[in-house]
A and B are shown apart, each in its own frame.
Chain A
């Protein structure tokens, strides 16, 4: 077969059943997955063979499965039924808009019917009416509260600067920017609760930073703080809880005595304004080599990578194996029963004629 690229591999299903994401650098036009363990068993509704090809809907697959005997049946997973997905993480386009009805700033609850989001998703809110204007255009990690409600995981919305909104639009951001580490919007700044003379910063989206990285803090004066615009700092600790209990934080070696004021979200009448941001700029070699920790203990060399400041391209073309349609197990493994299934996969790339 000329000009055909075939990649293959295998894995054991983990203790917790979840989608299986496999980077397939060259992309793929067709996929075949075989659950080797189930081929020789008789588990009811356990998928044993799956096929997907370019042109079929995302998350679909042609499925062969056992009933409760050795009889083999076939079925079809249709759109988004936990079959096989083609995923390109370089895509930055926000997903389809979901219309929301209310934002209650006292409780922090966003109401949007059938939003379909999960805890940990990143969303961008726009077009609010009557209030909560300040959060527009900013990405936030969310916490799912229910089928119709969610909250912003790292923002306290109770301050008086926020006002209830009667409508809004929201879109999920499918993937992070492709270069790591990423710039993040600041939601709170205060003195450290553990390292009390250093600066503790909370961010709107799960930051992904590590100790030793160097960042620039850009907080325009409209945010109530002076002395923290364009200031460099080295991350000394991550995850220190701020006074609101949020742990999506970094502790910087910027002494609290170098800035003044209290960080506060601007009232909406001050819009438009520039967001307060953390911008990764590199790493502190001393901190990385000597492994400085929050307690200042030298843990020895940590094999530093001197090119790790926003230069790692994390984009990938992924083969995503789903968990099934709720009845018949998917290519990622069984939907019930003990984990450990041995699954083989094969993905090919061919001419499209």
Chain B
């Protein structure tokens, strides 16, 4: 556990608590929500564009390389790594290895579908046993530019606090301590520019 992970978790929980929800409904697993499909992603794109959200990731031009294809301007999606098998089954999925250029691709980016690029993490948002059939429900946060932000408290930046054994160790100087502190507030800036697409797994 570290400071940035804590900040990520707080931001994730804020998004899970406040973002508008759209259930995947076009999948075939018989659950509510269903597994992820291209139709569900296209619906999210249509909604965000209709709300005048701006895409975050710029287009990657096509190049003369075998097995690659241009990548459109995209919204970013953040989700749990459990969804990777289902993403690969979605019509139009393109892994990052098939992007025409590898510059600016984050380590966490998994690929793109239509106008959405997906970033994965094992700390992605999961609602345990919450689907109609009692399976885990995954929040896929699809965000446009400046949809949410983090407000830091003035004069109280993130700090790593280390107390050496001379301070924290007592008369025998046996122990040192290390900790971090932060004062931050994650919040939606425009809720119309971010949606939580909820999905279950095709195979749990």
Contact = CB atoms under 8 A, between A and B. Distances in A.
Contacts of B170: 2-3
Interface stretch (B91-99, B112-120, B123-131): B123-131
Contacts of A277: 20-21
B32 interface: yes
A218 B133 contact: no
A136 B131 CA distance: 7
A148 to B, nearest CB: 21
Interface string A208-220: 0000000010100
Interface stretch (B11-19, B69-77, B80-88): B11-19
A176 to B, nearest CB: 9
Contacts of B151: 307, 311
B25 A274 contact: yes
Nearest to B27: A272
Please tell me the size bucket of the interface on A: 35 or more
Contacts of A280: 18
Interface string A229-243: 010000000000000
* Main SS class of interface, A: loop
Contacts of A216: 20, 191-192
Given A272-B33, A273-B25, A2 B168 contact: yes
Interface stretch (B60-68, B103-111, B181-189): B181-189
B136 to A, nearest CB: 11
Contact of B187 (A124, A279, A311): A311
B21 to A, nearest CB: 6
A97 B10 CA distance: 27
A340 to B, nearest CB: 39
Interface in B122-164: 127-134, 137, 151
* Residue of A136, A216, A218 with highest tally of chain B CB at under 10 A: A136
Given A281-B188, A307-B185, A311-B186, A218 B20 contact: yes
Contacts of A281: 188, 191
Interface residues of B, number: 40
Interface in B8-56: 10, 13-14, 16-25, 31-34, 51
Contacts of B130: 94, 124, 126, 137
B177 interface: yes
Interface stretch (A41-49, A56-64, A178-186): A178-186
A277 B51 CA distance: 18
A158 B149 CA distance: 44
Nearest to A169: B134
A137 B31 CA distance: 10
* Residue of B16, B130, B186 with highest tally of chain A CB at under 10 A: B130
Interface in A245-289: 271-275, 277, 279-281
A126 B132 contact: yes
Nearest to A136: B132
A222 B187 CA distance: 30
A271 B169 contact: no
A293 B186 CA distance: 30
A230 B99 CA distance: 35
Contacts of B132: 126-127, 133, 136-137, 271-272
Interface of A: 2-3, 90, 92-94, 97, 124, 126-127, 133, 136-137, 169, 171, 177-179, 182-183, 216, 218, 230, 271-275, 277, 279-281, 307, 309-311, 313, 351
16 contacts: A2-B169, A3-B170, A97-B129, A97-B134, A127-B133, A136-B133, A177-B17, A271-B32, A272-B23, A272-B32, A272-B33, A272-B34, A273-B32, A274-B22, A274-B33, A279-B19
Interface of B: 10, 13-14, 16-25, 31-34, 51, 127-134, 137, 151, 168-170, 174-175, 177, 185-188, 191-192
List the 3 closest pairs (A to B, CB-CB), nearest first.
A136-B132, A272-B32, A126-B134
